[in-house]
Structure 1
Amino acid sequence: MPCAPSPEAAHWFELSLVLTAADAERLGECLLDAGASCVQAEDALANTEEEVAIFAEPGQEAEHPRVWPQTRVTALFGSHPDQASQAAASLLKEACEAAQLPLSSHWQLRALDNQDWVRLTQAQFQPIEIGNRLVISPSWEPLRESHAQRKRLVLDPGLAFGTGSHPTTALCLRWLDAHIRGGERVIDYGCGSGILAIAAGLLGATSIDAIDIDPQALIATSENAKRNQVPINTFLTRGDTLAPADIVLANILAAPLKLLAPTLEALVKPGGFLVLAGLLNRQIEELAGFYPRVRLQAWQELEGWSVLVGQR
């Protein structure tokens, strides 16, 4: 996983080399033990015709083993510029000895530009206007005068998925902005950061349940809901025992949405709406067939992603 250096060091350098998958894992751990500030691993063949994809949706198997045959290991460390080459060689030597690997002479060293990492990270997250009534902004961003008439959803990037920037989340937020009138009961299934549940509350929903299988997501949802002063009930469950809702949202992926079809259909009260997202445009026709009790139709699409909406 990519990482940024702590702000204390004056000069930062990257040491990188290519290894087999098994050796990369062993060396990566030993580089950390030897003093690297952080280590990342990536496909050495990335952005080439030989790049290997190792991901898959939940409920599906990846087409390839979950390792890269050729893995680039990159270690970040701090040093004075005139000692960087010697420090890199020493770091690698200690790590190779600990990992019981031969010392490689094929490594590269690169100096990194000094950055204000906090400011650089924060600059990536700007306010996002949603429809006519909502704006999402991080806590460090002052409310702009142009957003004074909008409901502000305060959300900082964290461990759980959902900041409003991804097309699937944006589509669900647009739908909520256009359709919530006040007083609705809402279920956010696969809540992540809680962004959809919180948005529903800010727009007028009065009873909100958030469900996820990840305890960290429920912690994030609870914290974000408290920050936005929106009361939300959180559940680490499949949700089978919950009372049906006026609106059920599920921004997940195609494979789990197929598996969850009976549960999600049952959670929608007669006359209520089911909103499904996390779907590529090419997946919507097949997925709609898994929901015979709700007449699903494509509502909007954005950057190759679609949201399906149906009324029971």
Structure 2
Amino acid sequence: MPWLQLRVDTDRDHAEKIEDALLFAGAVSVTLQDNADQPILEPGLGEVPLWEQTRVTGLFDAEVDTSVTEAKAASFLCEMLPNARWEQLEDKDWEREWMTHYKPIQCGPNLWICPSWCEPPQPDAVNLLLDPGLAFGTGTHPTTFLCLQWLAQQELAGKSAIDFGCGSGILGISALLLGAERVLGTDIDPQALLASRDNAQRNGIDPERFPVYLPEQMPSEAADVMLANILAGPLVELAPKLIQLTQLGGKICLSGILSSQAEQVKNAYSEWIEFDPDGEHEGWVRLTGKRVR
């Protein structure tokens, strides 16, 4: 089905109002994008930040009358749309187009993360088949890659682990495929729990080996390995809880941390953890160590 898109370049203060105007004018979807290469790396709690220069794009059926549509959006705003332009969108199967951007990723000598629709490049390796469509965690982000690299180097046979903020389940499932006996997953997003269950089933993991819970339903049993790839702020705030859930002598792997935040996170755990040298990739840091007290 052919589509038209209406692009409007605006600023942070007007972006949401223009989004509402395009929806009022009949857009089937609206996206907001950075229009000046301005990174937003970690929003504050409860914040929904926008870029200083924002591009708002509305998707419309190709049969719409563009003049009428613009006029309807302008009537909602009580002014003309600023910097607006129409573009024809190439006719593709957009529901499947995003899949072309995911390729198998090697995270260790014997560990690959493979999109579920791809043939594993190394069939005899540990191949985690992943559908990244439901929740965050594909192995492409530096924080996830750093955690997978670390996992691939660990002796996990017979060990228990916790995947705190499990997302797609990528870390917990990798730990199980690498020999862990049981992994407990938790996430605040019910969609993430669904994705973790689906990906575990896709990889032949018995549900009893990878139970997943909302945080308030999570058992309080401590594990041999703690995996927490979230963000620096929550890692600092949750330090006492994550330590409590890590057995004495157990290992901990923390990520989602910018280089500038590493010392702050270390300080929150230094009372209990003897840290290894930091792992770093593209400005992101992985902190690992052993619980010694």
Q: Which interval holds the TM-score relative to the shorter structure?
A: 0.7 to 0.9
- Distance in 1 of aligned mates of 2:110 and 2:282: 23
- Farther-moved stretch of structure 1 (291-300 vs 201-210): 291-300
Within the candidate set 27, 30, 49, 1:36 is matched to 27
For residue 221 of structure 2, give the secondary structure of its aligned residue in structure 1: coil
User: Aligned pair 1:169/2:152, yes or no?
Assistant: no
Within the candidate set 197, 203, 221, 2:178 is matched to 203
For residue 193 of structure 1, give the secondary structure of its aligned residue in structure 2: coil
User: Aligned pair 1:91/2:66, yes or no?
Assistant: no
Is the 1:191–1:212 Cα contact (8 Å) retained in structure 2?
yes
| 1:181-196 alignment, distance < 5 Å | 181-196=156-171
CA spacing shift, 1:204–1:216, aligned 2, 3 Å: same
Is the 1:188–1:197 Cα contact (8 Å) retained in structure 2?
yes
Aligned residue in 2 for 1:127: 104
In the TM superposition, residue 166 of structure 1 has moved relative to its aligned partner by 0.8
Within the candidate set 254, 271, 274, 2:249 is matched to 271
- Distance in 1 of aligned mates of 2:278 and 2:56: 43
Is the 1:240–1:263 Cα contact (8 Å) retained in structure 2?
no
User: Aligned pair 1:136/2:113, yes or no?
Assistant: yes
- Farther-moved stretch of structure 1 (106-115 vs 282-291): 106-115
Structure 2 gap ranges (5+): none
In the TM superposition, residue 274 of structure 1 has moved relative to its aligned partner by 0.9
Aligned residue in 2 for 1:216: 191
CA spacing shift, 1:13–1:232, aligned 2, 3 Å: same
Is the 1:215–1:236 Cα contact (8 Å) retained in structure 2?
yes
User: Aligned pair 1:304/2:283, yes or no?
Assistant: yes
For residue 179 of structure 1, give the secondary structure of its aligned residue in structure 2: coil
Is the 2:107–2:149 Cα contact (8 Å) retained in structure 1?
yes
Aligned residue in 2 for 1:153: 128
Deviations 1:148-169 (A, max 9, x none): 2111111122231100111111
Across the aligned residues of Structure 1 and Structure 2, the Cα RMSD in angstroms comes to 2.7
For residue 126 of structure 1, give the secondary structure of its aligned residue in structure 2: coil
In the TM superposition, residue 277 of structure 1 has moved relative to its aligned partner by 0.9
For residue 171 of structure 2, give the secondary structure of its aligned residue in structure 1: helix
In the TM superposition, residue 24 of structure 1 has moved relative to its aligned partner by 4.1
CA spacing shift, 1:31–1:118, aligned 2, 3 Å: closer
User: What letter is aligned with 2:29?
Assistant: C
Higher CA-based Rg:
1
Is the 2:9–2:82 Cα contact (8 Å) retained in structure 1?
no
Deviations 1:28-52 (A, max 9, x none): 23423433232223455x24xxx6x
* TM norm structure 1: 0.81
Within the candidate set 247, 251, 257, 2:225 is matched to 247
- Distance in 1 of aligned mates of 2:277 and 2:94: 41
Aligned residue in 2 for 1:77: 60
Is the 1:278–1:305 Cα contact (8 Å) retained in structure 2?
yes
Is the 1:14–1:110 Cα contact (8 Å) retained in structure 2?
yes
User: What letter is aligned with 2:281?
Assistant: L
- Distance in 2 of aligned mates of 1:263 and 1:23: 41
Q: How many pairs are equivalent?
A: 287
- Distance in 2 of aligned mates of 1:55 and 1:175: 23
Aligned residue in 2 for 1:107: 84
Is the 1:299–1:309 Cα contact (8 Å) retained in structure 2?
yes
- Distance in 2 of aligned mates of 1:22 and 1:299: 39
For residue 289 of structure 1, give the secondary structure of its aligned residue in structure 2: helix
Aligned residue in 2 for 1:25: 16
Structure 1 gap ranges (5+): 1-7
Aligned residue in 2 for 1:4: none
- Farther-moved stretch of structure 1 (222-231 vs 20-29): 20-29
CA spacing shift, 1:179–1:37, aligned 2, 3 Å: same
- Distance in 2 of aligned mates of 1:27 and 1:288: 43
Deviations 1:267-302 (A, max 9, x none): 111211011111122322232111111112334221
- Farther-moved stretch of structure 1 (214-223 vs 99-108): 99-108
* TM norm structure 2: 0.86
User: Aligned pair 1:14/2:9, yes or no?
Assistant: no
Is the 2:148–2:174 Cα contact (8 Å) retained in structure 1?
yes
